[in-house]
Each structure stands twice: as structure tokens, then as C-alpha cells.
Structure 1
Amino acid sequence: MGDARGWYPCFSRPFNDWEMEAVVSLLSFLQGKRLFVGMEDRVLWNASKNEIFSVKSLYNTLDSSGAVPFPWRIIWSPCVPTKVGFFAWEASWGKVLTQDQLKRRGWILANKCFLCCDEEETINHILIHCPKARVLWNLVFSLFGVN
């Protein structure tokens, strides 16, 4: 609702306790925003330079978390065998069917790493953190001269 002095919110019902934080956040966001009288309403996408929505601008917005960019060009290189590329892709997204994934899908089983028998079997443990896998990685890296 509004008049010549400005506008004020009018809500159709009282808020629940769990809604108050969101309402305060909304009102804080709206505070100081100006309305331009006589200007047509329009939707702008601030994540792109031309203020027009595109899937690429949405992806770039979601991907701008500051994390190291995913090396998809290496995985999908013609030099990498297709099966290796698919495995690397699934491993990077945590979709390899390890015992922890099977447990999430309702399978009942004892979850132990089959290499070290110490930790739960997860993709990160099998490929990175398992002591037996670390020995294997050190061997592979030493073959290529990587420390």
C-alpha cells in the first residue's frame, strides 16, 4: 500500500515465529530501494551484463563459489579413453556405486573399505584417503616423475 509519502507493507495475516527472520531479511533488503513512477515494470537478470537471462549466466552464477574449476577439458579429452572419462566424471560427482551409496539406496551391508578394512567405503576414501590407494598413487606419480 502506498500514498504520496511512500509505501508501507500490508500483510493479510500475522507471521509465525519461524517466518520472522525471512520477513526481517526481506524488509531489510527493500529498505532504501526506490520506485520509479511512470516506468513500466520489467524483469532484469543482474547476473549478466545485458540483464537478460541465459542458462550460461545462471551456471556462471552458481559456479562462482570460488572453488577450483572442474577440469572437464582433461576428462573429456580425445586422449582419455571413454570409460576412464565416464568413471572420472562419476567419481567427481560422487556417483560411483560404493558401499555408502548402496546403503543410501536401502541395501543392508557392512560398510568397510575392502582395501584397508579400517574406514567406510566412500569414493573419496577409496581414491584418495585409503593408505593402500596412497601407495598406488605414489607409484603411479613416481612413474611420471611427479612428487
Structure 2
Amino acid sequence: MADYFFVDSSGLVSVARWKSVESLPVDQDLKYAFVEELKKHPFLFFEAEDELIWVHSKSGEYSVKNGYNYLFVGCRGEDLPYRLFWHVGCLPKAGAFAWLAVQDRILIGMRLDRFGVTIIFPCVMCGGSPESVDHLFLHCPFASQCWYWLFNKLNQSVVLCKDLQSQFMGWPLLCSSSFYACLWIIAPSVLIWKIWLERNNNFFKKHSSTLPNVLFCIEKSISESALAFIYKGISPKCTFTSWDNWVIGHWPALQLLPMHGAISKKRSPSINRKEIVWLPPPPSKYKLNFGGAYRGNPRKSTIGVVVFDDRARIIKAQCQCIPDGTNNVAELHALSVGLDLLL
């Protein structure tokens, strides 16, 4: 700015003043705007050499720690609503993922491009805009439909924000004294976690689910997390409100919860795990051990079957993948296969 000010030493004290901008080779409107901008920035004049100062530290000196705190803490993490990520009722993996997503720390298209890993590619869900955190989880037509579906399920009208961080920072925690108030805390992290899983299925497996199937999985995960939290014990200050009636009518999975009487906070008696041991079958008998596992419920399922004799020797064993199904289907399928091995 030295070209635009001079030091007036005519008086007793030297004073720095702005030069006239009339001689600048620009039109009058731009001159006026420039002068007005200069007036907004008063400055002090010192007879000293210029130096660089890092304004985000008390000493004025830059350090890697101060730079990191400014980029990732001071700008993006200072006012984040921690309850939406780390509340005891939140699905842990969904909360942890949402915590990273709102700070733009997940490996998504635009971030991979910044790292030089790959070039920016379009959103795999809509094929339109470049894939970024804000687009994938908010402005993509697929994500927008998921959010508006959630607003409708919560009986609220909420406008989507311009970015994901603002969406979480402005997320309303309403009906705090209602029976199902935990839905407000659990829902947003589960929603973007399911969108991320669907994105990965599209990107890596070239498999896409229909929107109703994705919404069904979102509702199921939110309901299971809410029920698990409520069964642990609900605050005596909570009351059953008209909003809870709406929730019961629009969240079928929550109807599994008994609505009459208080929820007992008594836990089942503890089990001494050392007393639970596997024993071989009686002489001349066989023992069948079977199990079924699933990933996603309903998603990919597998089973395992082992047959032992009375000396604890493995007589027959089998494991295999089965068509997509729930955990109950997987267990029943494993039992059927085990009985076929015995017969």
C-alpha cells in the first residue's frame, strides 16, 4: 500500500495520510469505491522494517501446530454439535463417519483430487456435479430425497442448507421432552452413513438399490438404534406427546416397544462366562453346531456347519454363501444344511 500513502511531516508529529487517487487511470466510480474501501482500513505508521506476522497466534510467529488448528479446528470444528456424533444413542460407526464427513475428511472425489490420487469425477449417484461432500450428502437428487423423506417422517419442514456442516450445525433437536426425542439425535448420522454405503455399492460393486430399499434400511437402522437406547432407560421427565403419536403411526418398527407402563431399568443377571463351555455329545451320538451370518440385514449372508462325534472329532463340515437374506433366514438355512449332512 506504500504507493497510496505519504508521511506528512509539516506539523510537530509525522502523520501517515492517504494520497489523492485522482491521478489513477480508472473511471470515477472505481475511484470512489477505492477511496471508500481505504477508509475502512485505518493504519498505524511506524519507522520500522516490514515483517510477516501470523495473526492467528499470540506471538505473531507461524508454527505447524497453529496452522493445523486454524485449518481444521478454528474454521470447521469449533461449534460442531457433538451430540449428533457421539451421543450414546447414535450408531457408533455412523456417528464417527458423520464426524469426519462434516469436516471434509473422508476420501471422496474432490479430496482425492487434491491429494493427486485421481482426477475429479462426477457423482456416482446422479452422474451430474463433481463428487464432493456437500453434493453427495445434500444436493444430489438421491440424497435430497432421503433428507426430505426424513423430514416427513419426523413431521417437520426443514430447508436443506448450502453445505453439510451447516446442515448439522443447524439441525433442530426438537421435542426434547418427548418419548422418542432420541430420533432427532440418531437420524442424521445414520442417513448419511447409508448414503455412503449405497455410493460405495454403486462405485465398487456396480450394484445399486432402489430408493425405497435404501429408505427402508435407513428407517430400520434408526429404529433399532432408538429402541436400543430407550430400552436402556428413559428419563422420568419424558412424556408421551402428540408428536410421539405421529411417530408411532409413521415408524412401524418402533411399534415393537410396549407403550404401557414404565420401562424397567433392571438388567438381566450377569452370566459367568467361564461356566459356558462346549461339551462333546454322549457316546454313540453326534453334535451339530451351526451358525448364520449376514451383512446389512438383508444383504449378503453366509452359513457354517460342523458335525462332531462323541470324541469331539470333526466328522463333517461345510460353509457357503447363500442368497441375500436376514439373520433369521441365515440361521434356518444353516440348520437345514446341517440336518442334511447328518442324514
Band the TM-score falls in, shorter-chain normalisation: 0.5 to 0.7
Distance 1:134 1:10, change over 3 A: closer
DSSP 3-state at the match of 1:101: helix
Shift of 1:108: 2.6
User: Cα distance 1:73–1:117, how it changes in 2: closer, same or farther (>3 A)?
Assistant: same
What is the aligned length? 95
Q: After TM superposition, which residue ranges in structure 1, 4 or more long, deviate above 2 angstroms?
A: none
Tell me which of the two structures has the higher relative contact order, counting C-alpha pairs closer than 8 angstroms and 6 or more residues apart: 2
2:126 maps to which residue?
116
Runs of at least 5 residues in structure 1 that lack an aligned partner in the other structure: 1-8, 24-44, 46-57
Question: How far 1:146 sits from its partner (Å)?
Answer: 2.0
Amino acid across the alignment from 1:74: L
Do the aligned partners of residues 10 and 144 (structure 1) sit closer, same or farther apart at CA in structure 2, a change above 3 Å counting? closer
User: What TM-score do you get using the length of structure 2 for normalisation?
Assistant: 0.24
Cα distance between partner residues in 2 of 1:114 and 1:138:
20
Partner of 1:3: none
Looking at structure 2, the residues matched to 90 and 135 of structure 1 have their Cα atoms a distance apart, in angstroms, of 23
Residue 98 of structure 2, aligned match among 46, 67, 88:
88
* Aligned equivalents of 2:148, 2:47: Cα separation in 1: 66
> TM-score normalised to the size of structure 1?
0.53
Per-residue Cα deviation, 1:106-130 (whole angstroms, up to 9, x for no partner): 1234510011111010011111111
Shift of 1:135: 1.0
Q: Distance in 2 between matches of 1:10 and 1:106?
A: 45
Identity %: 26
Decide which structure has greater strand share.
2
Which has the higher Rg, Structure 1 or Structure 2? 2
Q: How does 1:1-147 map to 2 (within 5 A)?
A: 15=49, 19=50, 69-147=79-157
Work out the CA distance in 1 between the residues paired with 2:137 and 2:120: 20
**Partner Cα separation in structure 1 for residue 115 and residue 94 of structure 2:** 25
Q: Distance in 2 between matches of 1:69 and 1:110?
A: 30
Residue aligned with 2:121, SS:
coil
